[in-house]
Amino acid sequence: MLSERRQRVLRALIEDYIEYALPVGSRTLTERHRLGVSPATVRNDLSALEDAGFIQQPHTSAGRVPTDAGYRTFVDELLSSGLAEEERPHPAMMDELRGAACELDALMERTSAALARLTDCLSIVMAPSVFAGRIRQITLVSLSVWQAIIIVVADDGQVANRTVAFSEEVTSDELAAAQNLLNRLLVGQSARDVRRSLDASTIEALRDPLVQLVIDEVVECLGVSDGNRAHSLGISSLLRQPEFSDAKALLPVMEVLEDDEVLLHTFDDTVEGESPVMVRIGRENPASELAGISIVACSYGRGDSEGVVAVIGPTRMNYGNAIRAVRAAQSVLCDD
For 320-329, what is each residue's pLDDT tens digit? 999 988 888 8
d(CA 77, CA 81): 6
Q: Determine the straight-line distance between the first and last CA of the chain, rounded to whole angstroms.
A: 42
pLDDT in tens, 125-165: 877 654 455 778 889 888 998 998 888 887 766 677 788 88
Q: Which domains does the chain have, with CATH numbers?
A: 4-66 (1.10.10.10), 90-128+230-335 (3.30.450.40), 135-227 (3.30.390.60)
Residue 302 sits at φ, ψ, to 5 deg, of -135, 155
Look up the pTM and report it. 0.71
Distance CA 122, CA 295 (A): 10
In the chain, the percentage of residues whose pLDDT exceeds 70 is: 74
88-97, 291-300, 309-318: least confidently modelled range: 88-97
Phi, psi of 46 (to 5 degrees): -65, -40
pLDDT at 329: 84
Average pLDDT, the chain: 79
The pLDDT tens digits for 51-104 are 999 999 988 777 999 999 999 999 999 888 765 555 555 555 556 555 554 455
Cα–Cα distances (Å) from 317 to 74, 169, 328, in that order, read 12, 53, 18
